[in-house]
Amino acid sequence: MRLKRFDCRVDLRVDLRAATAAVLTFLLVGVAGPSPAAAPGLENAKCLSCHDGRKDAIEVPGADGESRALHAVPPDAFAKGVHAKMDCVACHTEITDNAETDNTHRRDPAQKAKDCASCHEELWERARQQGVAQDKPRLGVVADNIAAYKESFHARKNADDPTRPNASCDECHSSHSFNVPPKDSPQYAEWRLGVPETCGKSCHEESLETFTESIHGEAIFQKKDAKAAVCSDCHSAHAVGNTSLAPFKLAVTAECGNCHEENFKSYKATYHGQINTLGYAYTAKCFDCHGSHDVLAVKNPDSKVHPDNRMKTCKECHNGKKDLPEAPPGFASYQPHGHAGDFERYPQMWLANQLMVQLLVGTFGFFWLHTLLWFWRELRDRQQGKVRPHVRADAPGLAGARHAGKHFRRFSATWRAAHLAFALSLMILTLTGIPLFYPNAPWAAPLMKALGGPQIAGTIHRINAVIFAAVFFWHLAYVAVRLARNWKEFRIFGPTSLVPGLQDGKDFLAMLKWFFGKGERPVFDRWTYWEKFDYWAPFWGVTIIGVSGLMMWASTITATFLPGWVFNVAAIFHSEEAFLAVVFLFTVHFFNNHFRPDKFPLEVVMFTGSMPVEEYRREHALEYERLLQSGELEKYIVDAPSRPMALGSKILGFTLIAAGLTLLTLVAIGFFGSH
């Protein structure tokens, strides 16, 4: 398993170490106060006379009964360290004299040698008690590092020697000579270049050997590039954790992005990256494809992402086990870092994005302007007292008082059920899809968690996609049957046809004249031009969203016959068309049917199926007059909905509007937060 050697890695987060090193001398002397003078014979000079490493190695009994050599303390290195002004016995408090018996000192059993953690914790606590903690924030940083270390793999008992941890502070920091140079200095760069050897030669020899051959190791050891990745960059500072758990996998992926910003950005735009951004680690991450210690350049024949090796790499996850079928050939040409900003490298994505951008700009530009002009004209008419007259049901030409309180049947129960299924499935599709579209939004991760995670949300999404498509295809079948039965009466163009015609263009121009006060408000027939657009738009939308979604859903079948870049293009079409549909429906469609002043706050005809006769005459005067003249009006006249039906329709309508506006708000937060 990749990264298996990281379970107890040395952790040397350089920025924290540098800051800590720079203040340790002050902390130890300035906060704790001057150390008491060492007893005669226990001065540093006396200690170093034996422990300077210039004589024979000093051996002492080890925990396993075997003798071990003590670490030498080179005087020059000690003099440059942050502890140079301290007495040796300030830490080695158990040593009471310099007499030696079998290379051991006389020790005070009541004393115990100071350890790094307890000493620095005491300094921090003392600073807090003295009320100077706010002036010494780095003391708090060190205390936090200690707390993190105590929870890390390094602090756990060593499997071979339970009397010691896997790694102690002085094994990484070398307490006798610890001194990290100031950042951005040549000395600091040199120190950083030595981090891999500190980790590797102490504990992780195998990992160091692999790392040395990698592109990162080549940069460190051959090119002397101190900006290249070292152990501590990926394995955090003092909180070295289990590399098989999600927190580490997510963190190390983000660490890759600190250096490889553009590639990380493009990765986050893919399904793998979206799931990762939401806090789930089961999709492919940087190291799954590129390796961990063994990262090689793409052009290297041994690289995991070299064209000759990509299928093998894909099959490490897509191996036919569990719920992932075996990767088909098309996966090898998928572009995990493709983006729409580079025509030369990714022409298909560039073209797809340009098409969708033009469609979005054109659609929203036209209809939002139409909406604003309509609202402005309505407002101006009201200010000038030009309110549309209320038509009484018993007025002349309305077939007498028998229509008072009556309704005009506009939509059958079948049409209303289809509309409701369409609306509900679309809203659920939006709810389950937008966390992937905007994974960085503040609401995305909590929403995905509330949905039960990406896998459950994905199942809900696909179920509602089937419902959405089923309603659409049922509609096509329904229309086909109706046309077959009434083909002699069918007219492609005409007052009852939903096919846009010349009259719709005239109506639109008449509306523009009214918008600018150059004409009277036009009257309409059975269908207005904006209703026809609402009808035909799903034919494009369902096709684009449905085909692209199906391609990604059945990815194994798709990639068996098509190259992998079709997934990059499908993702663009699917997400951008979904964005278009959601924003159009919850802005333009809501305004046209609910929010324009003469409809506000709610139009319930799509829930009740009928509308007052006087309102229908006002909204669709041409059809009303035609039906009245032909004697067909009566067959459309129905009783007003019952009180429970009317109340239920209002509750349902307001609920759907509230849900739509909530989804629109989430989309707006995600959109503006990502641009």
* pLDDT value of position 4: 36
Q: Which band of pLDDT confidence, cut at 50, 70 and 90, is reported for residue 13?
A: very low
Query: 99-113, 451-465, 550-564: which has the minimum mean pLDDT?
Result: 99-113
Respond yes or no on whether the N-terminal peptide bond of residue 109 is cis (omega within 30° of 0): no
Q: What are phi and psi of 651, to 5 degrees?
A: -60, -45
432 in the same domain as 322: no
CATH number at residue 420: 1.20.950.20
Q: What is the structure's pLDDT at 23?
A: 40
161-165, 538-542, 562-566, 643-647: which has the minimum mean pLDDT?
161-165
Range of the domain at 263: 245-343
pLDDT at 34 over 50: no
- Residue 194 forms part of a structural domain: no
Task: Write the pLDDT tens digit of every residue in 293-340.
Answer: 999 999 999 999 999 999 999 999 999 887 789 999 999 999 999 999
| Claim to verify: residue 422 and residue 276 sit in the same structural domain | no
Phi, psi at residue 647, to the nearest 5°? Answer: -65, -45
Same-domain check for residues 558 and 463: yes
Which DSSP letter does residue 135 get?
Answer: G
Domain end (from 343, 359, 381)? 343
Mind listing the pLDDT tens digit for each residue in 463-474?
Answer: 999 999 999 999
The answer as to whether 221 is a domain residue is no
Indicate the range of 57-71, 495-509, 613-627 predicted with least confidence.
57-71
Would the pLDDT of 19 be above 60?
no
What's the pLDDT at 57?
A: 76
Name the band, by pLDDT with cuts 50, 70 and 90, for residue 434.
Answer: very high
Instruction: Name the pLDDT band for 25 (thresholds 50, 70, 90).
Output: very low
Element (DSSP H or E) covering residue 61: strand 59-61
The gap from C-alpha 236 to its chain's centroid, in whole angstroms, comes to 22
- pLDDT at res. 429: 98
Q: Is 387's pLDDT higher than 90?
A: no
The answer, yes or no, to whether residue 9 has pLDDT greater than 80, is no
Is residue 60 domain-resident?
yes
Whether 279 and 427 map to the same domain: the answer is no
Decide if pLDDT at 36 tops 80: no
- Residues 144 and 138: beta-carbon distance below 8 Å: no
Mean pLDDT over 538-560 rounds to: 95
pLDDT above 50: residue 393: no
Q: Which residue has the higher pLDDT, 153 or 461?
A: 461
The last residue of one of the domains, among 343, 369, 388, is 343
Residue where one domain finishes, among candidates 130, 155, 181: 181
Picking from 420, 448, 417, 425, the residue whose alpha carbon sits closest to that of residue 545 is 425
- Asked if residue 259 and residue 142 are part of one domain, the reply reads no
Residues 420 and 529 in one domain: yes
Answer whether residue 150 is part of any domain.
Answer: yes
Identity of the amino acid at 381: D
Question: Under a CB-based contact definition with an 8 Å cutoff, are residues 175 and 77 in contact?
Answer: no
| Same domain as 251, residue 132 | no
Count how many domains the chain has: 3
Same domain, 472 and 609: yes
Check residue 42 and give its pLDDT: 79
Pair (137, 275) in one structural domain? no
pLDDT of 490 reads 77
The sheet carrying 407-409 orders its strands as 610-612, 407-409, 637-638
Residue 192 lies in a domain: no
- The alpha carbon of 288 is separated from its chain's Cα centroid by a whole number of angstroms, namely 19
pLDDT attached to residue 172: 81
Residues 176 and 249 in one domain: no
Whether residues 534 and 613 fall in one domain: yes
Residue 240 Cα distances to 140, 229, 494, angstroms: 19, 16, 74
- pLDDT of 264 strictly over 90: yes
**Which residue type, as a one-letter code, is found at position 659?**
A
In a domain, 544, yes or no: yes
The pLDDT of 211-223, averaged and rounded, is: 94
- Per-residue pLDDT at 18 exceeds 50: no
Q: Whole-prediction pTM value?
A: 0.82
CA distance 528 to 521: 13
Is residue 320 situated within a structural domain?
yes
> Sorting pLDDT into bands at 50, 70 and 90, what band is 64?
low
The predicted pLDDT at position 28 comes to 44
Indicate whether 470 and 564 sit together in one domain: yes
Residue 370 lies in a domain: no
